[in-house]
Amino acid sequence: MDRRALLAGFGAAALAGPACAQVAVRRPDGLLAFPEASADQVDFRRWLDRPVVLRSAEMLKVDGRHEFVRVVSEDGVEGVVKANSRMAEVSSLFRLVVKPRLVGQDMRDIERLIRELYTREYKFASLPFWTAVGHLELAIWDMMGRTAGVRCVEFMGPVQRTEIPIYISSLRRNTTPEEEVAWLAEEVETTGARGVKIKVGGRMSRNEDASPGRSEAVVRAVRQYFGDAFTIYADANGSYDAPAAIELCRMLEDHGVAILEEPCPFEDVEMTRQVVERTSLAIAGGEQDNSLERWRWLIENRALDVLQPDFMYNGGMARTLEVQRMASAAGVGVAPHYPRSGSETVELIHFAAYAPNLHGLQEYRGQGRDLDFPHEPRIAPRDGVLTLPEGVGFGVTFDPALWPSAERL
């Protein structure tokens, strides 16, 4: 897709929502300065006229394999988020650094509390730290929605859409083109997905393919099977330097691929920016990023065409809304990284229901995890879309019988 078409319709002015005031602002003389005050993305007091004090926060493992973060307020209201595969590995940060700063506090001030936590513990600032923060913050959002009796999307702003079109996300590089096509065809048939994302390169592999010639062969095979009108995205997971990535982009454009994700190592933002400058293919990235200053640089320097913050890796919903609103002000689209399925997708659904600058199809994990624990409603794509749940909070209720026998991590 031509970059001008990609950016069309977002405009240069910020859309709905408060100013993004945590990062430095550029003065008329070009110098960066601290903002006069930090602004919250959500005024929880608009919905909650008395304190919501956090009584407990815990990491739980159900049936030895399902991990959750569960919070409870002093009023006994629960909030739950299904944890990602990284959470167990950052449990010490959750238990020793993040949780003690929030328990006993009024969660209407959650954004200020997290800013203060970062100020105290900035030497930990990295993906593990923000993963611990993000899980807890998302569970608190669920609790706040249930306390206020509203859906979490209502905290963000006006609902823009209630149906979220998806693509099937393949996480595999060990398949032949024929195997990948057969598997994707089955997933698309089951979900009605409007597109797919396939892996190219070898994953941070310094220009090596997963196997010789696989990338071009799998792109060609997927396009031949699904036809010219079907949406295809590709993900290189940082496999290429700039010259090789530019060559890859030419091949992908020849096959009508719409987006290339992470062509270059994510830490080398200049290398990625060079690819953006020299190709008309839309370049996406940001799943590993969690510094608001870095997000500002990526946006100001047009180092990405589509931003892909991850709610958990980026430190929660409010910080992701800050990225979304910075991007919106610059006319840049967002499409969060969130390779999940079923009830794990609710955070993405709520964000996507609100975000005015949402770009393209949204991620849905093929070969989803077995979510066989008792919960309602059961979420699954129908005719290629996920539907915003009606319930309060993030809209999924878990059987209370899960928790007494769960392992405390």
What CATH number does the domain containing 142 carry?
A: 3.30.390.10
pLDDT at 85: 84
18 has a pLDDT exceeding 80:
no
> Domain of 158?
154-398
pLDDT tens string 346-388: 999 999 999 999 999 999 999 888 999 999 999 999 999 999 9
Share of the chain above pLDDT 90, in %: 90
Of 149, 175, 199, the domain-final residue: 149
Please check whether residue 189 lies inside any domain of the structure: yes
pLDDT tens string 146-163: 999 999 999 999 999 999
pTM for the model stands at: 0.94
pLDDT at 11: 36
Judged by average pLDDT, the poorest of 15-29, 167-181, 269-283, 385-399 is 15-29
83 has a pLDDT exceeding 60:
yes
20 has a pLDDT exceeding 70:
no
**Rounded average pLDDT over 296-314:** 97
Domain count, the chain: 2
Of 149, 166, 189, the domain-final residue: 149
Q: Using pLDDT thresholds of 50, 70 and 90, give the confidence band for residue 3.
A: low
Please check whether residue 4 lies inside any domain of the structure: no
Looking up residue 316, the CATH number of its domain turns out to be 3.20.20.120
Please check whether residue 280 lies inside any domain of the structure: yes
Task: Let me know whether 235 and 297 are in one domain.
Answer: yes
Task: Let me know whether 177 and 317 are in one domain.
Answer: yes
Task: Let me know whether 48 and 139 are in one domain.
Answer: yes
The owner of tokens 């994990």 is 365
Please check whether residue 326 lies inside any domain of the structure: yes
Task: Let me know whether 263 and 287 are in one domain.
Answer: yes
Task: Let me know whether 310 and 379 are in one domain.
Answer: yes
Please check whether residue 254 lies inside any domain of the structure: yes
Q: How far apart are CA 133 and CA 305, in angstroms?
A: 27
Please check whether residue 197 lies inside any domain of the structure: yes
pLDDT at 10: 39
Share of the chain above pLDDT 70, in %: 95
Task: Let me know whether 137 and 161 are in one domain.
Answer: no
Please check whether residue 33 lies inside any domain of the structure: no
Task: Let me know whether 243 and 193 are in one domain.
Answer: yes
pLDDT at 202: 97
Task: Let me know whether 182 and 285 are in one domain.
Answer: yes
Task: Let me know whether 145 and 162 are in one domain.
Answer: no
Task: Let me know whether 160 and 69 are in one domain.
Answer: no
245 has a pLDDT exceeding 80:
yes
**Rounded average pLDDT over 180-205:** 98
Task: Let me know whether 206 and 86 are in one domain.
Answer: no
Of 127, 149, 171, the domain-final residue: 149
Judged by average pLDDT, the poorest of 68-77, 200-209, 319-328, 367-376 is 367-376
Q: Using pLDDT thresholds of 50, 70 and 90, give the confidence band for residue 323.
A: very high
Please check whether residue 30 lies inside any domain of the structure: no
pLDDT at 7: 41
Task: Let me know whether 176 and 267 are in one domain.
Answer: yes
